[in-house]
Amino acid sequence: MHVVITGGAGFIGSNIAARLVEEGHTVTVLDDLSTGQRGRLASIEVEVIDGDVRSFATVEKSVNNADAIFHLAAVVGVPYAMKHRWDSVTTNILGTYNLLTVARRRDIPVFIASSSAIYGKLSQSTPVVETDDVVIGNTHIASWTYSYAKLAEEQLALAAVQEWSASVKIGRFFNVIGPGQSGAYGMVVPRFVTRALRGERLPVYGDGTQTRTFADIEDVVSAVMTVWERGEWGAVYNIGGQEEVSINDLAHRIIHKTQSRSTIQHVAYDKVFGTGFEEPTRRRPSTAKLQALGYTPRYTLNDTIIRVVASMREKAGDLRP
Ligand SMILES: NC(=O)c1ccc[n+]([C@@H]2O[C@H](COP(=O)([O-])OP(=O)(O)OC[C@H]3O[C@@H](n4cnc5c(N)ncnc54)[C@H](O)[C@@H]3O)[C@@H](O)[C@H]2O)c1
């Protein structure tokens, strides 16, 4: 198969590219390299097109001979998307519109990368299932921009399914972590590990009792492949980790695994994001639908923290175990 991956120079896209190449597919990456890095693809044989998914002409040219499209290009990370609202909204809406339009003409199946952010402030004690309501906050609050943008992307895809039976599968990623992820755009694990390795304080926003789950990038790539190979057309699948952990606990585990002298510093949301910042207090996916396809994760959260620490130490030339 010839697969085009939008956002393929990003964290998740480059790992999907590596897996597809390993399986014998030909891969073209379409990425504007805004947060992506060519270096991530250095050891993989792929064609890289430096282009913007918001340009119809670029998308048309890039997916010309594709047998499949994996659409991951997006302005990612809530803090980063808050600063780049226009890019966040337009990349998701125009990019997805362009891809689906070309895919329709050429009859190309598409995998769409959505996000747990679409559930908004839903903070229930039971794991979130794909059919749960979404509860997104006030449209003026910038921290919800990413949620609205990803929701619009999903709606475009679901409308295409209804309108012309588009061959689309949607994966809703919950926090994905692993070696090679950048902390520059607000992702918590690489930020904490970097600071712990330097012996700096770990800034925990709010009181740190908010919970999340984290999935290993290797497991996420396997989950995407499972959805792609065995998922239903037109269906949505949660893709995420199972172990719910508070951000306080996450920070302590990272301090422990890095044998760091760092301490935790609680920082009020307002100080970092300005007034009105909102986020869910709990977030855990039900992956029953995904597991029914035969998917089983390999890594625990502790395994992945160890993998991230090792890769960051190696990058810094620090080879302590
Ligand atoms: N990382 C996570 O925890 C997570 C969670 C939920 C959803 N997602 C979704 O997964 C996808 C990949 O995320 P990631 O973590 O790899 O982020 P990333 O920032 O590493 O990758 C996104 C890529 O898209 C590219 N890009 C941005 N705007 C573009 C444009 N206009 N045209 C072409 N390329 C553009 C960037 O350069 C980057 O390489 C995104 O759609 C994101 O919304 C990620």
Q: Tell me, what amino acid is at 271? A: K
**Within-domain flag for 292:** no
Contacts of 44 (CB under 8 A, 6+ apart): 14, 17, 18, 21, 27
Same domain, yes or no: 84 and 41: yes
CA-wise closest residue to 248 among 276, 210, 196: 210
Residue-wise pLDDT tens for the chain (321 aa)? 999 999 999 999 999 999 999 999 999 999 999 999 999 999 999 999 999 999 999 999 999 899 999 999 999 988 889 999 999 999 999 999 999 999 999 999 999 999 999 999 999 999 999 999 999 999 999 999 999 999 999 999 999 999 999 999 999 999 999 999 998 888 999 999 999 999 999 999 999 999 999 999 999 999 999 999 999 999 999 999 999 999 999 999 999 999 999 999 999 999 988 888 889 999 999 999 999 999 999 999 999 999 999 999 998 876 565
Question: 108 and 207: one domain?
Answer: no
Distance 298 CA to ligand 1 centre (A): 24
Residue 84 included in any domain: yes
Judge if 29 and 171 occupy the same domain. Answer: yes
Residue 310 covered by a domain: yes
Residues 203 and 222 reside in one and the same domain:
no
The domain tally of the chain equals 2
**Would 263 be classed as within a structural domain?**
yes
225 and 195 belong to one structural domain? no
Whether 137 and 77 share a structural domain: yes
Does ligand 1 have an atom closer than 6 angstroms to the CB of 10?
A: yes
> Ligand 1 centre from 184 Cα, in Å?
13
| Alpha carbons 1 and 131: distance in angstroms, whole number | 32
Query: Do 154 and 16 share a domain, yes or no?
Result: yes
In a domain, 306, yes or no: yes
**Residue 211: left if φ>0, alpha if ψ -120 to 50, beta else—which one?**
beta
- Tell me which residue has its CA closest to atom 7 in ligand 1: 115
Mutating to test ligand 1, I would choose from 15, 76, 237 the residue with most ligand atoms within 8 A of its C-beta, which is 76
CB-CB contact of 96 with 71 (8 Å): yes
- Is the CB of 81 within 6 Å of ligand 1? no
Structure-block tokens of residue 233: 């057309």
Nearest atom, ligand 1, residue 150 CA: 43
Asked if 148 and 205 count as a contact pair (C-beta separation under 8 A), the reply is: no
Same domain? 144 vs 207: no
295 included as an active-site residue? no
Out of 97, 119, 146, 295, pick the active-site residue: 146
pLDDT, position 64:
86
SS3 20: helix
Q: How far is the CA of 84 from the centre of ligand 1 (A)?
A: 13
Centroid of chain to Cα 54? 19
Q: How far apart are CA 170 and CA 82, in angstroms?
A: 24
Same domain for 208 and 144? no
Same domain, 75 and 64: yes
| CATH number of the domain where residue 62 is located | 3.40.50.720
Please give the residue range of the domain that contains residue 270: 188-212+243-282+298-315
**Same domain? 88 vs 128:** yes
Is the CB–ligand 1 distance for residue 73 below 6 Å?
Answer: yes
CB 58 less than 6 A from any atom of ligand 1: no
Does residue 307 form part of some domain? yes
Contacts of 195 (CB under 8 A, 6+ apart): 201, 202, 203, 262
Task: Tell me which residue has its CA closest to atom 32 in ligand 1.
Answer: 52
Establish if 254 belongs to a structural domain: yes
**Residues 278, 160 share a domain:** no
pTM above 0.75, yes or no: yes
Q: Is residue 182 part of a domain?
A: no
Look at residue 226 in the predicted model and tell me its pLDDT: 98
pLDDT of residue 320: 60
CATH of the domain at 272: 3.90.25.10
